[in-house]
Amino acid sequence: MAQLIDGKKVAERVIAEVQAEVKTLKKNGVVPTLAVVLVGNDPASRIYVSNKERKAKQIGIETREHVLPESTSESELLVLVDQLNRDNKVSGILVQFPLPKHMNEDHVREAIAPEKDVDGLHPVNQGKLLSGDETLVPCTPRGIIRLLDEYHIELKGKHAVVIGRSALVGKPLAHLLLNRHATVTLCHSRTRHLHEMAAQADLLCVAVGKSRLVKENFIKKGAVVIDIGINRITENGKIKVVGDVDFEPAEKKASFITPVPGGVGPMTIAMLLLNTVNAAKKQAMPR
Ligand code: NAP
């Protein structure tokens, strides 16, 4: 039976560390400040944004909230991003996605100053990750690496299979693993014989968004399984959140496994706070 990787517990530890850093920075006159921009009235985005702001405030990070109507034009949003880029008091900028359909998300990502890009999605930060500079990398993959570190899971020389190649999760995760000397196979919707690929993995990470895609035959005995998926399904008339991995059979074969919820999920906000503090530090002490 696999050991459960407790993301809630590790996230609490990370948040306590970040809180201590915030205190030290403030003593030295640096106030980490996160600007959060929300466009439109999407209820899920509203909840994500307020959770992030609440957690940031709890540990002493200042927040600035900018809520813009759905009708905002892309150029108006870019003007706000430019103002935040120039504002010396703002350490990090988070524009909540998805944006309304009339906006191009790439334009907005690219407009954020790379040193304030706490989501780690600016092409400059993506490029830095390729060259081994991990100052600002996307929060979810950074959180996964921290979980693996906390459970002393060796990566060097191991075969890691990542299913899903999004810019937010799969691709940066593959590079973070490569930087730690894993041998990485990156799979996606066109990968042939997916379960055979997956079954070769010492570390199997799944970020697809399809409930219970990964069955028992995808998992090598003793593999470490990281389930990133968050899927809301209805089962026996009840709404349930499940991952991309069929948990019960996987738990019997794996050596370590993340539950959903309570595995990777809680790490994402913790890493956003860490990125904000790292951005503030870097801006205060550029070298
Ligand atoms: P995404 O942008 O939709 O990417 C999904 C990836 O899965 C794509 O690369 C796609 O391949 C691949 N894929 C789709 N169907 C597949 C199949 N049948 N077999 C193999 N690969 C397949 O999603 P994402 O943003 O990476 O998110 C993935 C999941 O993680 C979602 O459930 C999301 O909610 C969750 N998530 C969780 C957190 C967290 O904090 N825990 C954070 C972010 C995301 P192609 O590239 O070929 O289309």
Q: Are residues 158 and 241 in the same domain?
A: yes
Best residue for ligand 1 mutational test, from 194, 228, 244 (most atoms within 8 Å of Cβ): 228
CA max distance for the chain: 57
Same domain, 148 and 87: no
Residue 23 maps to a domain: no
56 with 152, same domain: the answer is: no
Do both 110 and 146 map to the same domain?
no
Residue nearest ligand 1's atom 6 by CA = 164
The pTM of the whole model exceeds 0.95:
yes
At residue 287, does pLDDT exceed 70? Answer: no
Q: Is the pLDDT of residue 198 over 80?
A: yes
Q: Residue 285's pLDDT is what?
A: 85
119 is catalytic: yes
Query: How sure is the predictor about 118, in pLDDT bands with cuts at 50, 70 and 90?
Result: very high
Distance CA 63, CA 85 (A): 15
Cβ < 6 Å from ligand 1: which residues?
A: 140, 163-166, 168-170, 187-191, 194, 207-210, 213, 228-231, 264-265, 268
Q: Are residues 108 and 145 in the same domain?
A: no
Residues 84 and 177 reside in one and the same domain: no
- How far, in Å, CA of 30 to CA of 277, rounded? 10
Closest CA to 35 of 67, 58, 59: 67
Catalytic residue among 55, 116, 117, 119: 119
Answer for the pair 32, 91: CB distance below 8 angstroms, yes or no.
yes
Give the pLDDT band (50/70/90) at residue 22: very high
Residue 64 sits in the same domain as residue 108: yes
Q: Is residue 9 part of a domain?
A: no
Rounded percentage of the chain residues whose pLDDT exceeds 90: 99
Are residues 195 and 102 both part of a single domain?
no
116 is catalytic: no
Q: Is the pLDDT of residue 122 over 70?
A: yes
Q: Which domain holds residue 143?
A: 139-266
Predicted local confidence at residue 197, as pLDDT: 98
Tokens of residue 65, six digits: 């909230």
Number of domains present in the structure of the chain: 2
On the question of pLDDT at 64 being above 70, the answer is yes
Average pLDDT over residues 3-19: 98
**CATH at residue 220:** 3.40.50.720
Confidence of residue 200 (pLDDT cuts 50, 70, 90): very high
Tell me if 132 is assigned to some domain.
Answer: no
Question: Separation of 282 CA from ligand 1 center, angstroms?
Answer: 31
One domain for residues 90 and 152: no
Same domain for 45 and 154: no
**Dist. CA 250–CA 221, nearest whole Å:** 9
Give me the pLDDT at residue 33, please: 98
Please write the tens of the pLDDT for every residue from 69-91.
Answer: 999 999 999 999 999 999 999 99
* Residue 169 pLDDT exceeds 80: yes
pLDDT at 28 over 90: yes
Neighbouring residues of 173: CB distance < 8 A, sequence distance ≥ 6: 140, 141, 144, 145, 162, 205, 207
What would the pLDDT profile of 49-58 be if each residue is shown by its tens digit? 999 999 999 9
Q: Does 213 fall in a domain?
A: yes
Query: In this structure, what CATH number is given to the domain that contains residue 91?
Result: 3.40.50.10860
Query: In the structure, what pLDDT confidence band is assigned to residue 6 with cuts at 50, 70 and 90?
Result: very high
